[in-house]
Amino acid sequence: MSNSSGLSTQDDPECSESQRDEEEVEGEDDEQRKSSREAVIEIILNFLRKFITSPAPCQRELKSSLQKKFQCVFEGIAKAGSPSLLNQIYTQLYITEGGTGEVNDEHEVRQIETASRKTHKPETTIKQEDIFNGRDQPIRTVMTKGVAGIGKTVLTQKFTLAWAEDKAHQNIQFIFPFTFRELNVLREKKFSLVELVHHFFTETKEICSFENFQVLFIFDGLDESRLPLDFLNKKLHSPP
């Protein structure tokens, strides 16, 4: 049976116009909601980019802390001798490039004897501020070797102090100096690298990842390590 009016809803001009108005309003609302969401997302992303790429507050606090820690050294017994400003007493070390990268476990006297018997070869001397510079390939790891008391620890302190005082190494955004004496105390505990940094350097606790920064880790006193350095067979630990 056909419709007595002979008109469907689609044929009705008034209904058709009303539907179009509703559809247009709904379409505009969808566009507005989409635009609002995009605006909110962009604001959040801009905030995150600013937070990630602006480590300045944490960096300033860390530099201040490291300056206080390394600006003085104690001559004589550690913490019992007379404190002296590191920059005033520091003597440039004669650093030469080379070696196999292996740890020499011989007695120090044997090391001196072995070195004295070596055939003299041309040596490349390096300033402490150029340890990571001046090569064809970028250098990611440096190991310093030498007999006890020659100045390896003071070298790392001078390197760190120069960064903290804005005098050198400003291409590095963070320097974290560790000692194995400190790390040995924590050998029974589990830390991710970021958690370990936060534990020793509380100034950086607002930063949850250092992947976007140029970071240098210094580990002083490898010969004193009591940690199991079996990285291949150890389980990975990440923060929750």
Of the two residues 11 and 226, the one the predictor is more confident about is 226
Lowest-confidence segment of 77-86, 116-125, 189-198, 224-233 by average pLDDT: 116-125
The predicted model scores a pTM of 0.65
**Distance of alpha carbon 47 from alpha carbon 146, whole angstroms:** 48
Q: Dump pLDDT digits (tens) for 27-45.
A: 566 777 777 888 888 777 7
Q: Looking at residue 8, what is its pLDDT?
A: 45
Task: Pick the most confident of 39-53, 132-146, 206-220.
Answer: 206-220
pLDDT of 100 higher than 60: no
**Distance of alpha carbon 121 from alpha carbon 99, whole angstroms:** 12
**Mean residue pLDDT across the chain:** 76
Give the mean model confidence (pLDDT) for residues 208-226: 91
**Distance of alpha carbon 45 from alpha carbon 63, whole angstroms:** 28
Of the two residues 155 and 112, the one the predictor is more confident about is 155
* Confidence band for 157, pLDDT divided at 50, 70 and 90: very high
Closest CA to 64 of 154, 187, 166: 166
Q: What is the 3-state secondary structure (H, E, C) of the chain?
A: CCCCCCCCCCCCHHHHHHHHHHHHHHHHHHHHHHHHHHHHHHHHHHHHHHHHHCCHHHHHHHHHHHHHHHCEEEECCCCCCEEEEHHHHCCCCCEECCCCCCCCCCCHHHHHHHHHHCCCCCCCEECHHHCCCCCCCCCCCCCCCCCCCCCHHHHHHHHHHHHHCCCCCCCCCEEEEEEHHHHHHCCCCCCCHHHHHHHHCHHHCCCCCCCCCCEEEEEECHHHCCCCCCCCCCCCCCCC
Amino acid at the residue 231? F
Class in CATH terms, 58-224: alpha beta
Lowest-confidence segment of 1-10, 70-79, 187-196 by average pLDDT: 1-10
Q: Looking at residue 1, what is its pLDDT?
A: 47
pLDDT of 17 higher than 70: no
Q: Give the other-Cβ count within 10 Å of 99's Cβ.
A: 10
